[in-house]
Amino acid sequence: MEFNIKQNIEMLQTSIQNEYEENNKVSGNLVDALESSRQELNSCSLRKKQLYDALTEKRSEKLSKELKDKESLLVFVNAWKNYESRQNILKLAKEKKENLRKEIHELENLQDVKMRILGLDTNTILNG
């Protein structure tokens, strides 16, 4: 559209120049048409600039929103991973505690076995 308006302006300027060279005066209609075409070109350029600005602004807002969504999703995923990690650590700690409890129980039983082998019991040790 802008190209057509520019061609129209060039044509009007050529017509004004030819008429001035032929008659030493210019028709008011040609001058008005040229002014109208220039205003139309200016408004077309302004609309184009506004559309471009709106497009880039909307695109940047969209990208910003997508980035925020991705960040919040990443925070959620990390929190979930941390939760799973904590659950695994707690599970391992419970297993370790249970294994330790079993070992202590076995050691207690082992001490009883040693005492029996030596012919000792709790009463003998306490009473002499």
Q: How many residues are recorded in the chain? A: 128
Percent of the chain with pLDDT over 70: 92
What total of structural domains would you count in the chain? 1
Q: Read off the pLDDT band of 127 (50, 70, 90).
A: low
Whether 112 is in a domain gets the answer no
- 17 within some domain: yes
Give 48-60 as a DSSP string.
Answer: HHHHHHHHHHHHH
Within a domain: 68: yes
**Nearest alpha carbon to residue 31 among 48, 16, 41:** 16
The least confident of 19-23, 54-58, 83-87, 95-99 is 54-58
Which residue range(s) make up the domain with 48?
2-91
Q: Which residue has the higher pLDDT, 38 or 117?
A: 38
The answer to the question of residue 26 being in a domain is yes
Q: Give a yes or no: residue 116 inside a domain.
A: no
Domain assignment of residue 96, yes or no: no
Q: What is the mean pLDDT of residues 99-107?
A: 83
- For residue 119, the 8-state DSSP code is T
Coil, helix or strand at residue 38: helix
Question: What per-residue confidence (pLDDT) applies to 95?
Answer: 94
Q: What whole-number distance in Å separates Cα of residue 8 and Cα of residue 40? A: 11
pLDDT for 77: 81
pTM of the model: 0.44
Task: Please report whether residue 120 resides in a domain.
Answer: no
More confident residue, 123 or 86: 86
